[in-house]
Structure 1
């Protein structure tokens, strides 16, 4: 299996429909542990994502202050380095202007000497730019990560099994940045979600539901595809210790946005029982989804599902949608566009303007300037939206 993993990582096959998450793209191939092949023959890898605090200390605000202070110090240090570098450039420019004549060749042309990139500039970038690579194990090399394992206790590491470089229909088996953004918000607003009953749509590997499970009472993590749901269930089992201190529970269930009803067939894996459906409709107060807006038809299906479920809930609820705007050059527009994002915004606007006399939806954009609790690159294309769904009748 180790030889197969090495071959898969060293010689990836990219077809026109191959998709690779940036979270995995920035990870050196030699640091991935292939644990198995899934039911469709895809290599499954195990990654360790380190929390910047311990889940055992969720009740304390100490770590929030430490993280905020640390980021401020990084920014100040980076600014100081940049200011110092700009000062050096200015001094060099003054000196060079005095000796321009010495840089002329025999024909009177100016010979430009390229200034090497300064060390201070590199240091500033390292301070200001978050490292994307998660802590990942390597098969047969456990000793190499012994120090990291000692530092990363059970309460500050999320273990996630995932695939890499999948076809578009299997992108849920990868880990995406918007899931980290939503997880950050959950940990930042943990008191808001404490004791809630939550539904996640398009849960994928389950990382956001797992984080939510550390503070919520019950989370229904839903998606489609038996192989994907089995991977999600395995990830929930791997991280059960994170949820036990708060008494949280994550249930993995099948939920197809293209169907109008919950799957209740007992012969179908991950189907719903009547009791679970009743529990969801009676107690759910939060619905969330992360990085599921990449196909217009699926986006429309998601919003139809949102309307159907929020309409059937006993109480009003809050919906959180996280996504990443992905820019592409299209021949049709001969310009850089983001068609999937544009369709999402149009559909979101239609939902807010809906006037059916039954539901009212209030949309709010959440500025992503809250604390970061997972190590990833929070780029400016990441967005988080909040929707208040209220019954009118």
Structure 2
């Protein structure tokens, strides 16, 4: 079991060189890494939207998983249109400050956004627990407007902000359910948000972290099980 004082390091930073993430320079206690984002721009985007719409209407959904049951995601198309964004992050943190790192769930969400960019073309998007902000930066390459939130920085909503919040039709969150208490708080808030304003769709990605525990004498992930219990509970509402 991870204690509050334990230091945690995301696999994203451990495998940064292999995954194509370029480490930049140190800034105080943080590191700045460069992420290269492929996106579809201009007229090519409109053409690709039409092609993907026609293709998706013909293809069956084919979900691949690895030996651990985790999703294997491949990008539908690679393009020559790229942007490079620099993200300041911590190399390791305690459990309370893990939002200062980039996690695999965030990369999965980014990949999903880029592979399905027509879906978000005219959306006003709210990210909950944005952390370093990488997913919101990627979403901003296609969405009409993106609101990135995190509890670490106090913020007062203006009337203009509240109006934009009422226009939200997509909510997203990556790796914000790594403890049962946070999962309860997240879904409680999410239910409230889903009932206000416009009809919304929520996209959640999370990494299932398997660990051997002395309590169970087995490899388990009880936090993920608790997350799945919430999903089953919401299906009955």
1:51 matched to which residue of 2?
A: 37
Matches within 5 A, 1:359-374: none
Correspondent of 1:346 among 212, 229, 233: 229
> Which structure's CA Rg is the greater one?
1
Instruction: Kindly indicate whether residue 182 of structure 2 is the aligned counterpart of residue 182 of structure 1.
Output: no
2:9 matched to which residue of 1?
A: 20
1:299 matched to which residue of 2?
A: 183
1:191 matched to which residue of 2?
A: 118
1:32 & 1:188 partners in 2: Cα distance?
A: 27
1:318 & 1:53 partners in 2: Cα distance?
A: 22
2:94 & 2:199 partners in 1: Cα distance?
A: 37
Matches within 5 A, 1:64-103: none
Structure 1 residues 58 and 33 mapped into 2: Cα distance closer, same or farther (>3 Å)? farther
Report the alpha carbon displacement of residue 280 of structure 1 after superposing the two structures with TM.
1.1
Secondary structure at the aligned position of 1:192 is classed as: helix
Which 4+ runs in 1 deviate beyond 2 A? 51-62, 153-156
Tell me if structure 2 keeps the 8 A contact 1:200–1:288.
yes
2:199 & 2:15 partners in 1: Cα distance?
A: 41
Tell me if structure 1 keeps the 8 A contact 2:130–2:148.
yes
Instruction: Kindly indicate whether residue 206 of structure 2 is the aligned counterpart of residue 323 of structure 1.
Output: yes
Report the alpha carbon displacement of residue 55 of structure 1 after superposing the two structures with TM.
4.9
Report the alpha carbon displacement of residue 32 of structure 1 after superposing the two structures with TM.
4.4
Secondary structure at the aligned position of 1:329 is classed as: strand
- Identify, as 1 or 2, the structure richer in helix: 1
Correspondent of 2:90 among 163, 167, 174: 163
Report the alpha carbon displacement of residue 51 of structure 1 after superposing the two structures with TM.
2.5
Q: CA RMSD in A?
A: 2.6
Structure 1 residues 59 and 161 mapped into 2: Cα distance closer, same or farther (>3 Å)? farther
Secondary structure at the aligned position of 1:166 is classed as: coil
Structure 1 runs not aligned, ≥5 long: 1-14, 38-42, 66-129, 131-152, 227-268, 355-393
Report the alpha carbon displacement of residue 53 of structure 1 after superposing the two structures with TM.
5.2
Aligned residues: 202
Secondary structure at the aligned position of 1:45 is classed as: strand
Tell me if structure 2 keeps the 8 A contact 1:55–1:156.
no
1:213 & 1:21 partners in 2: Cα distance?
A: 24
Q: TM-score with structure 2 length normalisation?
A: 0.77
Structure 2 runs not aligned, ≥5 long: 53-73, 75-79
2:171 & 2:93 partners in 1: Cα distance?
A: 27
